[in-house]
């Protein structure tokens, strides 16, 4: 699953890695409402793929389609394919529960469970029937989420007792404790102050050494700072309702400096939001 | 074709030639987890269905055993004595309605006024916190103790069981429900409405009468209807406050019949006639309770 | 209130004016009445406690604490004790809590964790609410003529085959603990279910998302996240349901057999404090009334404590999420 240098295509992004997930979304409906259409988003291994776009463009919907989180919404319908290691995760035989074990998620609002810090991080390990040294893995995950020093003396305290930024890093620790393959992050910094945001951003850059990350952000500066590849989504209002679609995707530098689409250029220049 | 498309195309080619998939994402129905889920879901369904059996059984018995005996005679005649056939429970219906009426007349004004204090006038005072807590404690208060209390206070001093004592006992039970429901209804009146009234220069009393009470009325009435329904079905406190009577009510200060006590008395009798009447009285009692419950739902559904 | 500082302002053409003296008087009066009504509720509770306590004083002086541990209730000899009733009250309520609790929580899960489409869930919620609306005497009547005949063969078979087990130590001849506890369970089920439903509904949606995001199955999410998160609310539901069971009167007076004995057997007749009051009070003489007042005080103390504990737990449960928001 490592980078495959022979297959690299000259002239594209530097150091092209393998594709872990390939989202070929055709249509997503909520009931009769067409929320997103025609978005092909490949997610590269050990990179951060940023999703940007104006509100209502469906970037979160696309992200949540990648681990079938949207299945929790009864009226949600997905047309298309999301390949994960060659398997379509929307195949009838696929269990969404299993999908979510390999593809972890960090949410917009920090959402620790009402249990101790330790139990929060150990949750996924226990869930997966982990038999090894629990303490060691919990510590490792907390280190990985850059929060160990702040909580090492109060592991028995409730996860809800932490500050917002700490809670979010705890949630990241919880997500990486099981060492999932892919980490989906849905505006993970939107509820955080600038200092906490900076810490989480640094963390993301560290984490991509081990994980593949897809990141939804409403903050273009954040995408510039951390994303290797950026996907820009727009809103199509020509059919009378607001339907999101992928406008353009490419290396972050290119999207922000010399995008191919007029719409992308206007957006990254801040002409609309 | 743009460079981006090319990149994507090549990436997809990468993907398609990627060797055998790593993890299997398929569901395995015989796996322990799936099995456990299935069993638990099954048990939950069974529990839910089992829990509804008593209700349907009670309704069935009421309709079959009670419905067959229901007639103009049972609704109006006086209770039969031991070996008599026929008879009815007209006096018990009247007695129940009168006592519930007395209880409503006492508990509604008192409860709503107290709720005004709790919700509007001084919600954070020590008195408000205490009363709110006591009202909640009183909702779990054994109804028979309301009977014991009113017995000690009224029956002993008046030297007779009476409809009045029965009504007061039921009022004690209705009061906490009315207070809590009315407080909640008034607290839910949007602050901006109250602000608007204060802004025009209303006194607090005017704000309450012109804005809070009319706006909160559906919620208050819903609570009142539920309290009435509860009181109508409650019999324990009547056992030794109103007692029972074989005759129609002539004065509020004499022993008074009620449906619930009639059912209680007749249920233990060895006579088929009385047992049939107990079922018929149960049907009437449940219908009265249901009417108020349904009224509560209808009023509660209206949005302001 | 008499002088208004705006009196000297030129108000020609304006209809604005201060509230009249009458308005002020009404305002003061109404606020006074509302305060009085609230205070009256406080006074009522105090009065109830004093009245029942006061009327129990002679019996307390006469029988002392031995009243709580003595087993005889004999009007002729004037010997009174309520240990069998306390036993019966606790035993029947615990059995009811066991059954009603399991079913109530199962139903709360059933109603809140996406087992049913919304409309069906609403129908089912109505069924449970209707169960709460059926009067106690009607359940008593149903217990006598439907439940007991149904239970009897089962109970007697259990007694015949497993009579060695203390729970099946006697046969069921009619009224007894088992039918009483079953009906009690049915009666507290709506209380347990509705408070548990509230507790489960209070859990923010993001917690559910977090659980599913970790790759839990529905039941793993329920058992490992939702129930622990709602645990204090559910505990409050159980305690309040227990409180209701302790004070329930009519159905028990009709079904439990009113026999002052202490037995582990589920099929033996027994008695409860509330049923004792219901069955003895109307025909009691002055001596027995005093003893009954003591029993009423004991019931009052037990239920007040249980309910206060339940409410305290519930308050704690609501706080947990307030702190987080």
Position A18 pLDDT exceeds 70: yes
pLDDT tens for B82-114 read 777 888 999 999 999 999 999 999 999 999 999
B155 contact C CB<8A: no
Q: Could you say which DSSP state residue B26 is in?
A: B
Residue C10 is assigned to a structural domain of this protein:
no
Q: How far is A52 from chain C (nearest CA, A)?
A: 22
User: Are residues B21 and A86 in contact, defined by beta-carbon separation less than 8 angstroms?
Assistant: yes
Domain B90-301 has CATH 1.10.3720.10: yes
* pLDDT score at A173: 92
* pLDDT score at C192: 94
Position B1 pLDDT exceeds 50: no
* pLDDT-based confidence at residue C2 (cuts at 50, 70, 90): very low
pLDDT above 90 coverage of chain B, percent? 50
A114 contact C CB<8A: yes
Q: How many CB pairs under 8 A join A and B?
A: 83
- Are residues A113 and C206, on separate chains, in Cβ contact within 8 Å? no
- Are residues B10 and A94, on separate chains, in Cβ contact within 8 Å? no
Of B122, B205, B234, which has the smallest distance from its Cβ to C26's Cβ? B205
**CATH value at residue A65:** 3.40.50.300
User: Are residues C107 and B47 in contact, defined by beta-carbon separation less than 8 angstroms?
Assistant: yes
* pLDDT score at C41: 93
Find, in chain B, the residue whose alpha carbon is nearest to that of A88. B25
- Are residues C137 and B152, on separate chains, in Cβ contact within 8 Å? no
Residue A103 is assigned to a structural domain of this protein:
yes
Distance CA A127, CA A130 (A): 7
Position A19 pLDDT exceeds 90: no
pLDDT tens for A89-137 read 898 888 888 888 888 899 988 888 888 999 999 998 888 888 889 999 9
Note the pTM of the prediction, 2 decimals.
Answer: 0.82
User: Are residues B197 and B208 in contact, defined by beta-carbon separation less than 8 angstroms?
Assistant: no
Residue A207 is assigned to a structural domain of this protein:
yes
Position C95 pLDDT exceeds 90: yes
* pLDDT score at B50: 92
Residue A3 is assigned to a structural domain of this protein:
no
pLDDT tens for B257-300 read 999 999 999 998 888 899 999 999 999 999 999 999 999 888 87
Q: State the pairing for strand pair A212-216/A229-236.
A: unpaired
Long-range CB contact pairs, B269-276, < 8 A, 24+:
B269/B82, B271/B82, B271/B83, B273/B80, B273/B84, B273/B85, B273/B86, B273/B87, B274/B80, B275/C145, B276/B65, B276/B68, B276/B69
Is residue A78 helix, strand or coil? strand
- Are residues B17 and A7, on separate chains, in Cβ contact within 8 Å? yes
* pLDDT score at A213: 93
* pLDDT score at C5: 56
A27 contact C CB<8A: no
* pLDDT score at B263: 94
Of C103, C133, C282, which has the smallest distance from its Cβ to B289's Cβ? C133
C206 interaction partners in chain A (CB closer than 8 Å): 107, 109, 111
- Are residues B149 and C48, on separate chains, in Cβ contact within 8 Å? yes
pLDDT tens for A128-179 read 888 889 999 999 899 888 889 999 999 998 888 898 889 999 999 999 898 8
pLDDT above 90 coverage of chain A, percent? 30
Average per-residue pLDDT in chain A? 86
Q: Is C318 exposed, middle or buried (0-12, 13-18, 19+ CB in 10 A)?
A: middle
| A interface test, pick of B23, B25, B35, B36 with most A CB neighbours within 10 Å | B25
Residue C73 is assigned to a structural domain of this protein:
no
B1 contact A CB<8A: no
Is residue B171 helix, strand or coil? helix
Position B225 pLDDT exceeds 90: yes
- Are residues B11 and A16, on separate chains, in Cβ contact within 8 Å? yes
Number of folded domains in chain A? 1
φ and ψ at residue B18, rounded to 5 degrees: -60, 135
B22 contact A CB<8A: yes
- Are residues B25 and A12, on separate chains, in Cβ contact within 8 Å? no
pLDDT tens for A63-90 read 999 988 888 888 899 999 998 888 888 9
- The domain locations on chain B are 90-301
* pLDDT-based confidence at residue C176 (cuts at 50, 70, 90): very high
Position B28 pLDDT exceeds 70: no
pLDDT tens for C132-144 read 889 999 999 999 9
B278 contact C CB<8A: yes
* pLDDT-based confidence at residue C6 (cuts at 50, 70, 90): low
Average per-residue pLDDT in chain B? 86
- Are residues A113 and C215, on separate chains, in Cβ contact within 8 Å? no
* pLDDT score at A13: 42
- Domain span holding position A103: 18-268
Residue A11 is assigned to a structural domain of this protein:
no
pLDDT tens for C239-287 read 989 999 998 999 999 999 888 889 888 999 999 999 999 988 888 888 8
B143 interaction partners in chain C (CB closer than 8 Å): 247, 249
A9 interaction partners in chain B (CB closer than 8 Å): 6-7, 10
* pLDDT score at C9: 59
* pLDDT score at B249: 87
Higher pLDDT, C12 or C168: C168
Position B40 pLDDT exceeds 60: yes
* pLDDT-based confidence at residue C164 (cuts at 50, 70, 90): confident
Averaged pLDDT, C118-130: 88
B15 interaction partners in chain A (CB closer than 8 Å): 18-19, 22, 42, 83, 86
**CATH value at residue C140:** 1.10.3720.10
Averaged pLDDT, B179-208: 86
Residue A2 is assigned to a structural domain of this protein:
no
Count of H-run helices and E-run strands, chain C? 14, 2
Averaged pLDDT, C20-32: 85
* pLDDT score at C13: 66
* pLDDT score at B23: 64
The CA-atom distances, in angstroms, between B119 and each of B16, B109, B111, B129, B178 are: 67, 15, 12, 11, 13
B44 contact A CB<8A: no
B8 interaction partners in chain A (CB closer than 8 Å): 40, 42, 249
Residue C27 is assigned to a structural domain of this protein:
no
* pLDDT-based confidence at residue B56 (cuts at 50, 70, 90): very high
- Among B53-62, B243-252, C93-102, the minimum mean pLDDT is found in B243-252
Position B5 pLDDT exceeds 70: no
pLDDT above 70 coverage of chain B, percent? 90
A105 contact C CB<8A: yes
* pLDDT score at B16: 44
Q: How far is A147 from chain B (nearest CA, A)?
A: 30
* pLDDT score at C319: 64
The CA-atom distances, in angstroms, between C37 and each of A215, B115, B128, B219 are: 59, 9, 11, 20
User: Are residues A252 and A223 in contact, defined by beta-carbon separation less than 8 angstroms?
Assistant: yes
- Domain span holding position C97: 83-324
A104 interaction partners in chain C (CB closer than 8 Å): 213-215
Number of folded domains in chain C? 1
C320 interaction partners in chain A (CB closer than 8 Å): 114, 160
Average per-residue pLDDT in chain C? 88
């Amino acid at each position: 699953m490592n980078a495959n240098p022979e297959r690299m295509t000259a002239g594209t992004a530097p150091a092209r890695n393998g594709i872990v997930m390939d989202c070929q979304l055709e249509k997503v409906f909520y009931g009769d409402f067409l929320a997103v259409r025609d978005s092909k988003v490949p997610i590269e291994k050990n990179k951060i793929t940023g999703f940007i776009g104006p509100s209502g463009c469906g970037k979160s919907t696309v992200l949540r389609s990648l681990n079938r989180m949207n299945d929790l919404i009864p009226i949600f319908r997905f047309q298309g394919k999301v390949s994960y290691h060659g398997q379509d995760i929307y195949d009838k035989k696929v269990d969404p529960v299993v999908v979510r074990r390999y593809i972890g998620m960090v949410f917009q609002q920090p959402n620790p469970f009402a249990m101790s810090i330790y139990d929060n991080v150990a949750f996924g390990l226990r869930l997966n029937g982990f038999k090894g040294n629990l303490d060691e893995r919990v510590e490792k995950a907390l280190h990985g989420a850059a929060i160990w020093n702040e909580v090492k003396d109060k592991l028995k305290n409730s996860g809800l007792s932490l500050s917002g930024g700490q809670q979010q890093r705890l949630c990241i620790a919880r997500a990486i404790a099981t060492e999932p393959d892919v980490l989906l992050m849905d505006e993970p910094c939107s509820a955080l102050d600038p200092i906490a945001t900076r810490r989480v951003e640094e963390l993301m850059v560290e984490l991509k050494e081990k994980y593949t990350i897809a990141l939804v952000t409403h903050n273009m500066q954040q995408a510039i700072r951390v994303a290797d590849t950026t996907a820009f989504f727009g809103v199509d209002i020509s059919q009378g309702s607001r339907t999101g679609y992928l406008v353009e995707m490419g290396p972050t530098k290119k999207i922000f400096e010399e995008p191919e689409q007029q719409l992308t250029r206007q957006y990254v220049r801040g002409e609309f939001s | 074709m743009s460079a981006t498309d090319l990149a994507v195309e090549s990436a997809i080619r990468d993907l398609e030639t990627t060797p055998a998939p790593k993890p299997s994402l398929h569901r395995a129905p015989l796996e322990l987890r799936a099995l456990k889920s299935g069993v638990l879901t099954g048990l939950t369904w069974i529990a839910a269905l089992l829990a509804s059996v008593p209700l349907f059984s009670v309704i069935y018995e009421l309709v079959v055993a009670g419905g067959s005996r229901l007639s103009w005679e049972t609704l109006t005649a006086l209770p039969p004595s031991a070996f008599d056939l026929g008879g009815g429970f007209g006096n018990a219906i009247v007695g129940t309605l009168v006592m519930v009426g007395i209880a409503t007349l006492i508990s509604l004004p008192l409860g709503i006024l107290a709720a005004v204090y709790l919700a509007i006038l001084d919600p954070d005072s020590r008195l408000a916190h205490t009363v709110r807590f006591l009202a909640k404690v009183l909702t779990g208060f054994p109804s028979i103790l309301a009977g014991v209390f009113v017995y000690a206070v009224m029956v002993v001093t008046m030297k007779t069981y009476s409809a009045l004592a029965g009504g007061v006992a039921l009022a004690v039970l209705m009061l906490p429900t009315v207070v809590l429901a009315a407080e909640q209804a008034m607290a839910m009146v949007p602050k901006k409405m109250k602000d608007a009234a204060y802004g025009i220069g209303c006194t607090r009393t005017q704000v309450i009468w012109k804005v809070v009470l009319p706006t909160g009325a559906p919620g208050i009435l819903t609570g009142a209807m539920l309290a009435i329904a509860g009181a109508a079905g409650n019999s324990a406190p009547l056992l030794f406050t109103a007692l029972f009577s074989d005759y129609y009510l002539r004065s509020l200060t004499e022993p008074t019949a009620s449906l619930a006590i009639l059912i209680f008395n007749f249920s233990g009798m060895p006579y088929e006639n009385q047992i049939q009447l107990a079922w018929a009285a149960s049907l009437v009692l449940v219908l009265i309770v249901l009417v108020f419950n349904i009224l509560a739902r209808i009023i509660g559904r209206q949005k302001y | 209130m008499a002088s208004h500082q705006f009196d000297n302002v030129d108000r020609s053409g304006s209809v604005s004016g201060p509230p009249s003296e009458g308005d002020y008087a009404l305002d003061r009066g109404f606020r006074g009445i509302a305060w009085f009504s609230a205070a009256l509720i406080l006074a009522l509770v105090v009065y109830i406690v004093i009245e029942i306590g006061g009327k129990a004083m002679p019996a307390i002086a006469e029988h002392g604490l031995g009243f709580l541990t003595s087993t005889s209730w004999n009007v002729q000899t004037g010997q009174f004790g309520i240990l069998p009733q306390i036993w019966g009250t606790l035993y029947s309520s615990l059995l009811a809590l066991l059954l009603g609790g399991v079913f109530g929580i199962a139903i709360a899960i059933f109603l809140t964790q996406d087992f049913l489409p919304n409309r069906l869930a609403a129908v089912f919620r109505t069924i449970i609410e209707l169960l709460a609306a059926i009067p106690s005497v009607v359940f008593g009547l149903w217990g006598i003529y439907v439940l007991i005949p149904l239970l009897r063969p089962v109970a007697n078979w259990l007694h015949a085959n497993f009579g060695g087990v203390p729970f099946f130590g006697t046969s069921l001849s009619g009224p007894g603990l088992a039918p009483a506890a079953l009906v009690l369970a049915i009666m507290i089920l709506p209380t347990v279910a509705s408070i548990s439903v509230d507790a489960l509904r209070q859990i923010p949606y993001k917690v559910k998302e977090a659980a599913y995001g970790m790759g839990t199955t529905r039941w793993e999410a329920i058992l490992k996240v939702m129930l622990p998160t709602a645990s204090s609310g559910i505990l409050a539901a159980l305690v309040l349901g227990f409180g209701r069971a302790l004070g329930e009167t009519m159905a028990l007076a009709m079904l439990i057999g009113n026999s002052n004995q202490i037995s582990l057997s589920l099929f033996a007749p027994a008695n409860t404090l509330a049923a004792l009051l219901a069955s003895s009070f109307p025909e009691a003489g002055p001596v027995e009334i005093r003893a009954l007042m003591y029993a009423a005080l004991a019931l009052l103390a037990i239920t007040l404590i249980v309910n206060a504990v339940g409410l305290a737990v519930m308050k704690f449960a609501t706080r947990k999420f307030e702190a987080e928001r």
